[in-house]
Amino acid sequence: MKKIIKNHKAIAIKLETILAVTLVFLSALIMFSVKWLLATWSELTVDEIIYHMVAPLQGTSTAMLKEYILHCSIPAFLVSMIVMAMFMIFRKKRAYGYALMISFAGAFFTTGFTVANAWDDLDIGNYLVSQFETSDFIDQNYVDPKDVKLEFPEKKKNLIYLYLESTEVTFADQKSGGAFRENVIPELTSIALENEDFSGEDDKLNGGYAMPGATWTMGALFAQTSGLPLKISIDKNAMDSQSSFFPEIVTLGDILHKEGYNQEFLLGSVGYFGGRKLYFKSHGNYEIKDYSYWKNQHKFDPSYWVNWGFEDKKLYEYAKEELTKLSKKPEPFNLTLLTVDTHFPDGYVCEICQDKFDDQYANVYNCASRQVKEFVDWCKTQDWFDDTTIVISGDHPTMDHDFCNNVPMEYERTVYTAYINSKAETEIKERRDYTTFDDFPTTLAAMGVKIEGDRLGLGTNLFSGERTLSEKYGREFEKGELEKKSKLMIKFGQIDKNAAFESKEAKELKEKEKKAKIEAETKNASTN
């Protein structure tokens, strides 16, 4: 009997130890993860966290994964091992009970403190309140492109849309409208000032404000091409499980596809990350030419992988090849590019980067600026340039926590914006207050398209005399309303609840089928 009791006691001690160590590990992992998130990301939003929690992680930069493992997983593991060693030392002593109590108390206290800290820094309280509040702002101000008459010019203009990862007006010098003492992006500054950024007669750069739902890459792409924020309610946000991406809306890609444009989306990372491939295939039937596509074209060694895939230097080379091919076809074209070298943290230093600044990220942005100028200069030498509009836009403000430490709190950070070779003339010569939603109708107008009412989505044609929603309501009011739930956005999302909450096994099977389909597509593309 004593032996049985002794055995039960030994089992209980083991179970208690395992439970305590597990709780310590989890609490430490949560603490280090939150600390890392808040120290690494700037302007991190709950919407963004939720979106990426349900989006596939495949294609994430290996550098970022290594950073997470180094700063979060390994420290949490070491803490749990120290606690395990403590239990091993005290397992047959009276102090074991105290060690157990301290471990449980420490785990719960650490988790509670971490949650409280994140609650304040991420403003979770206001976010949760906003999720219980419904706003009809989008419902009342959304202009459905289906109901708008669009008149294209007799000779349709080509479009090159260049999304610059994390690029802001902020990085220019103060004299040019930025917030830095020395201009990190001088070439981009000149391009914007010499063309159109809607700064009016002001000699300082102007850019679009990234509203809630447009502060990360997929949200930004969605906002600039649909005029809407990428917002879905928490319980239905599972875009990786869906077969379509907001199927009811009409986007820039849909409009150009209907008008007979050949459309391509070029990027140096994997297309399916964050739902990008799903979105561009669903809206405009773009050819997606991503890392996997170019690898199957034998453009580089199959084992080649840097940063998020391959560097922008290669992307621009491939873009030139694609533009040469597209220009020989009878249909107009839309070539959309997404760069990645300037992704945080600190960007990717490629072989042509110069060491002009003390900060690595500044050098990467400086290199990106020079590469854009070289690409635009090349475009200007091509026969098709006069019939082509080029839009250059940052996708969203940088998320790097340290790079903008010296930027004054009162400075309004906006994404870089420039319209080159526009076919429209600005009716308002004053500096405009606008958001990235306004890029949707403005891009069409720049291509010579006449837009009935000069509004699409939540966006306004900036070449027109129509006021933007920011100018009409005030930016802070608009931002506050967009943080709330919208019945119209939920309707547009067309979320499949069954797919969103299906079993783990079913999700894994669907992911395998999706991967097989992608491999088959890239294989077919490489043989054509």
86-102 mean pLDDT: 68
Structure token digits, residue 460? 């306004």
- Which domain-ending residue is among 132, 150, 185? 132
25-36 mean pLDDT: 72
The answer to the question of residue 227 being in a domain is yes
**pLDDT value, residue 363:** 97
Record the pTM. 0.76
CA distances from 265 to 11, 196, 292 (A): 59, 24, 13
The answer to the question of residue 416 being in a domain is yes
In terms of domains, do 444 and 399 share one?
A: yes
CA nearest neighbour of 351 among 303, 397, 307, 298: 307
The answer to the question of residue 528 being in a domain is no
In terms of domains, do 328 and 409 share one?
A: yes
**pLDDT value, residue 70:** 74
pLDDT band with cut points at 50, 70 and 90 for residue 42: low
pLDDT band with cut points at 50, 70 and 90 for residue 78: confident
In terms of domains, do 483 and 496 share one?
A: yes
Residues 227 and 457: beta-carbon distance below 8 Å: yes
How would you write 27-90 as a 3-class SS string? HHHHHHHHHHHHHHECCCCHHHHHHHHHCCCCCCCHHHHHHHHHHHHHHHHHHHHHHHHHHHHH
The answer to the question of residue 161 being in a domain is yes
The answer to the question of residue 183 being in a domain is yes
Which residue matches tokens 């998320």?
Answer: 399
424-453 mean pLDDT: 96
In terms of domains, do 121 and 237 share one?
A: no
> Could you say which DSSP state residue 242 is in?
-
Which residue matches tokens 């000779």?
Answer: 155
Residues 376 and 146: beta-carbon distance below 8 Å: no
**pLDDT value, residue 11:** 64
CA nearest neighbour of 438 among 399, 464, 413: 464
In terms of domains, do 237 and 372 share one?
A: yes
The answer to the question of residue 112 being in a domain is yes
Number of domains in the chain: 2
- Rounded Cα gap, residues 292 and 302, in angstroms: 9
Of the listed ranges 44-58, 253-267, 405-419, 425-439, the least confidently predicted one is: 44-58
Identify the bridge partners of residue 461 per DSSP, sorted by sequence position: none
CATH code, 276: 3.40.720.10
In terms of domains, do 292 and 429 share one?
A: yes
> Could you say which DSSP state residue 307 is in?
T
pLDDT band with cut points at 50, 70 and 90 for residue 37: low
In terms of domains, do 191 and 76 share one?
A: no
**pLDDT value, residue 524:** 57
In terms of domains, do 396 and 268 share one?
A: yes
- Which domain-ending residue is among 132, 155, 173? 132
Residues 422 and 119: beta-carbon distance below 8 Å: no
- Which domain-ending residue is among 83, 108, 132? 132
480-497 mean pLDDT: 82
Encode pLDDT of 293-312 as tens digits: 999 999 999 999 998 899 99
Identify the bridge partners of residue 164 per DSSP, sorted by sequence position: 394
In terms of domains, do 119 and 228 share one?
A: no
- Residue 336: how many other CB atoms lie within 10 Å: 23
Length of the chain: 528
The answer to the question of residue 327 being in a domain is yes
- Residue 387: how many other CB atoms lie within 10 Å: 17
In terms of domains, do 315 and 398 share one?
A: yes
What are the start-end ranges of the E strands in 246-361? 262-267, 287-289, 333-338
- Rounded Cα gap, residues 472 and 488, in angstroms: 21
Task: Quote the longest CA-to-CA distance of the chain.
Answer: 96
The answer to the question of residue 249 being in a domain is yes
- Rounded Cα gap, residues 141 and 201, in angstroms: 29
Helix (H, G, I), strand (E, B) or coil at 394: strand
Rounded to 10 deg, the angle between the 217-226 and 46-54 helix axes is 100
Encode pLDDT of 211-258 as tens digits: 998 998 989 999 999 999 998 643 333 444 456 789 999 999 999 999
In terms of domains, do 326 and 253 share one?
A: yes
76-91 mean pLDDT: 73
First to last CA, the chain: 78
In terms of domains, do 239 and 292 share one?
A: yes
Encode pLDDT of 330-362 as tens digits: 999 999 999 999 998 889 999 999 999 999 999
Encode pLDDT of 169-191 as tens digits: 999 999 999 999 999 999 999 99
**pLDDT value, residue 122:** 58
Encode pLDDT of 377-420 as tens digits: 999 999 999 999 999 999 999 988 789 888 998 999 999 999 99
CA distances from 325 to 267, 314, 318 (A): 17, 17, 11
Structure token digits, residue 98? 């105290």
**pLDDT value, residue 288:** 97
451-464 mean pLDDT: 98
Query: Which domain covers residue 97, as residue numbers?
Result: 2-132
Radius of gyration of the chain (CA): 26
